[in-house]
Structure 1
């Protein structure tokens, strides 16, 4: 079996971490299979793939294609949507040239399966596929929130043999928009040996260039990219609502890792936001960390604050596996990851008062905090071990390789029943 994975960036976001877990799981379960990865830019993902002893090639996105995206359009109004439409038209010649480069790479590898990871590769993969290869889309986001992409993907769904969704919530969203698509929910999973209570612990104050915190300090952290919907504003407003007597030091750990303009905050914007809410002395910023496990171990409370429904919420599971008290936004795929009050606490998305209440409850009750952290680790061991990824993906790949058209028909029929 020969499987090619296509990813639009060489940076490390949530979808890229999932890709690495998929590769590690498959290589362990099927060491005789051949895997190769193509990415659209240089970045830490390239070295991470090579560390798994998987061949990786950079097929670089032209700048116009790299900057193209609709992540910021959903709530930005008609003018933003119009600009996106013009940019899409302007990018057609560039996209066609890139399609030729990608097709050349795919023909050289001659895969049985092409597994795409990211909206741009979902579009380009079917256009570049050699005869006899099956396409699998691995979708990590809600199509309904992507006005342009959902329309473009609908035009391509007849070329796709299977769609993998990272949660039941995302799978339901895809089925609502593309009823004929053969969708299978395969929740994300992680390396439970790497994300565990045992291992290196980061010096958060040193990373943040902050003075050492007093010994009794409770460390609360938001670990996320700077995407605008990740709830940084909600987190900062929640911190402002907490009493000054509570011995809390907060950290924002992440960065603006994506090329698409308008989709994320800058560090300067977040620092100004902290000053505006009066919490600049209480919150510290740590740049993007390729490995967040040491940072998670250093925190007492890990906050997930997404203001929109989260497709999955990988950092929630990573923090659970590190036996940390987790507060998660209670919507979308993230809502099913913890058991509210048992293995974590849920808060209302976008509601700073609700988040502040959850932080305060954990901060003021160390016994409850420890109990939830222990239950979180047990839940992660039961549901999110990455070996499960191979267990679910291998039968799908084998079915597609045996008869791609029949596999698609069976999957579509199953969706209708």
Structure 2
């Protein structure tokens, strides 16, 4: 495509068609990050097509950001495949996948592929078979998995042209698993859009319930069960605290939600836990919080933590992986040991007893998050990595 006077040697701008493979049509952290990735690519003048395995609320957000969307069913690595029967199902699904992928490839004719997770490695193989550059954006840090599992997830990245990790923690897990990935892997911190305006935190009266909010999948990895036990401890200390849970479960984890609901129905927690399910606009829930909790056992980055900081709400998060890179303990939030219900409860009680501290760390946190995790910075960096 040429710009400039007719017949002259104008500036030549190469516009590529980028295909992005993404494992979910939901709207959680890595899904919303993909929207920012699309915005970055469109700002760089690129044509973007995103392929997802099913219909869901992410699709209109991607289209609004400037992408076209293809819905093509394909398998995504889940624990359900880690059994003899599961492996047979995976093999059958992949047999169909190759045909569908070939049809999509002929229709879109991409000049570059971005694979937005390690859980769909077959897309990396498709790109290499077509001799097209492929970038893998890693949002996972599976440090708690056995090494054979980590190797299985990580080895396909050796076929990628370039790897982008969303935190140093994610990159470190990759390199510890396969040292050869060090040279081709860079870190680009997520970029999270802040609210248009800050809703001032309320001044809690002595007898007002303490509002705790946790946004994220109902999952052992997110520490939802730890939050419930910490809530019980806070209430035992005489604080009328209430916990709002915003999130749903992955298919196959319904048992975990059942356990959470059973625990919430016990006498010490009865009536104090609100299960909201999936929430389309979690920013409104964060605005209602006196304290935001991110008690994850595993967290490669932690968009919700950044959202809480940008909303200027005091944050208590686990001292783990990407969260420890986002939060400076005692300055922009409080960090606690993962899965330690007593330490989580103590941090909540500390903020409840010291409103001045809560206000100070919330204010400092907002300034830090705006400087380090801005959306415009992310869009420029991710475009440079993918297109470079």
Please state how far the C-alpha of 1:215 moved relative to its aligned partner.
7.6
* 1:242-257 matches, cutoff 5 A: 242=234, 243=236, 245-256=238-249
* 1:374-413 matches, cutoff 5 A: 374-399=363-388
Residue 69 of structure 2, aligned match among 56, 67, 82: 56
Aligned-residue RMSD, C-alpha: 2.4
Q: Is the partner of 1:180 in helix, strand or coil?
A: helix
8 Å CA contact 2:124–2:160 kept in 1: the answer is no
Higher normalized contact order (CA 8 Å, seq sep 6+, divided by chain length): 1
* 1:84-163 matches, cutoff 5 A: 85-127=84-126, 129=128, 131-147=130-146, 150-163=150-163
TM-score, with normalisation over the residues of structure 1?
0.81
Q: Tell me what 1:224 maps to.
A: 216
Q: Tell me what 2:338 maps to.
A: 349
Q: Tell me what 1:5 maps to.
A: 20
- In the alignment, structure 2 segments of 5+ residues that lack a partner are 1-15
8 Å CA contact 2:216–2:222 kept in 1: the answer is yes
Q: Is the partner of 1:249 in helix, strand or coil?
A: strand
- Larger mean CA deviation between 184-193 and 379-388 belongs to 184-193
Q: Tell me what 1:291 maps to.
A: 281
Please state how far the C-alpha of 1:198 moved relative to its aligned partner.
4.2
Q: Tell me what 1:183 maps to.
A: 185
8 Å CA contact 2:164–2:385 kept in 1: the answer is no
Rounded to whole Å, the distance in 2 between the matches of 1:379 and 1:187 is 13
TM-score, with normalisation over the residues of structure 2?
0.87
- Larger mean CA deviation between 159-168 and 47-56 belongs to 47-56
* 1:233-382 matches, cutoff 5 A: 233-242=225-234, 243=236, 245-256=238-249, 258-259=250-251, 261-262=252-253, 265-276=255-266, 278-306=268-296, 308-382=297-371
Q: Is the partner of 2:356 in helix, strand or coil?
A: helix
Residue 44 of structure 1, aligned match among 54, 57, 67: 57
Q: Tell me what 1:406 maps to.
A: none
Rounded to whole Å, the distance in 1 between the matches of 2:357 and 2:98 is 54
- Larger mean CA deviation between 358-367 and 146-155 belongs to 146-155
Going from structure 1 to structure 2, the CA distance change for 1:229 and 1:309 (only over 3 Å counts) comes to closer
Q: Tell me what 1:411 maps to.
A: none
The CA deviation string for residues 157-182 of structure 1, in whole angstroms up to 9 with x for no partner, is 33210111110011011011122221
Rounded to whole Å, the distance in 2 between the matches of 1:128 and 1:92 is 19
Aligned length: 366
Q: Is the partner of 2:121 in helix, strand or coil?
A: helix
Q: Tell me what 2:10 maps to.
A: none
Q: Tell me what 2:165 maps to.
A: 165
